[in-house]
Amino acid sequence: MSGILDLLNSDLGKTIISGVSGQTNQPEDKTSSVLTMALPVLMQAMKRNASTPQGAEGLLGALNNSKHDGSILDNLGGLFSGGVDSSVLDDGSKILGHILGNKQQNVTNTLGAKSGMDAASVAQILKVAAPILMGVLGKESRQSNVSSQSGLEGLLGGLIKGNSPQQEQSFLESILDADGDGSVIDDVAGMVLGGNKKKSGLGGLLGGLFGNK
């Protein structure tokens, strides 16, 4: 299974970046930076939610919804051509609420600070990206016949950890030093880990956004 960052670097990912950029009137490079940081963060939050029976049941139910069966990926041109439909944005808003809960503002502010984009624009990007991400997960879950909590955790873990080393490196570079000042330690401690430097690896970095101990 390819990782979520490899997906972003594929032709499909480039279509998503271009479409989200046009929808939100943000430059493609900044949109790409936000999505590169945001999608693994959203995946990590889903994985955290899926670690409880109730959370896993809720996410499996959402993935079994016909809105999230992967069909959204089959007509991205149509999705973006006339502007993203309000029902898709409403769905995105609900998805983010379920995934991030009271951490949503914190995540939006952090991604904005790291990408040099205002938080409102980041929030708009996330609203467009969330239904697409659910479509990716829905498609993968059907192909893998995922129907249990352990299967769901395995699917999410594979998408988080299955990235090529080059994509993992580009993610770490973008989230560690997006402001380009070279102070990686300050960026990690202040923006991402919130002072918790014990965890290592991508999961540890992402966990820091959610205040994991």
Which residue from 163, 158, 127 is spatially nearest to 140, judged by alpha carbons? 158
Confidence of residue 48 (pLDDT cuts 50, 70, 90): confident
Averaged pLDDT for residues 15-27: 94
Element (H, E) at 156: helix 149-161
Averaged pLDDT for residues 4-21: 91
Q: What is the pTM of this model?
A: 0.80
Residue 78 in this model has a pLDDT that exceeds 80: yes
Contact 175, 37 (CB under 8 A): yes
Q: State residue 152's pLDDT score.
A: 92
Q: State residue 206's pLDDT score.
A: 57
Residues 93-116 pLDDT 10s: 999 998 888 888 888 888 888 888
Return the sign of the alpha-carbon dihedral for residues 73, 75, 81, 86.
negative
107-116, 146-155, 202-211: which has the highest mean pLDDT? Answer: 146-155
Query: How many Å apart are CA 157 and CA 200, to the nearest integer?
Result: 16
Counting other chains too, the contacts that 86-90 makes at CB distance below 8 Å and 24 or more residues apart are: 88/128, 88/131, 89/127, 89/128
Residue of higher predicted confidence among 208 and 20: 20
Confidence of residue 82 (pLDDT cuts 50, 70, 90): confident
Mean pLDDT score of the chain, rounded to an integer? 80
Counting other chains too, the contacts that 172-176 makes at CB distance below 8 Å and 24 or more residues apart are: 172/202, 172/205, 174/33, 174/36, 174/37, 174/114, 175/37, 175/114, 175/205
Residue 188 in this model has a pLDDT that exceeds 80: no
Residue of higher predicted confidence among 168 and 162: 162
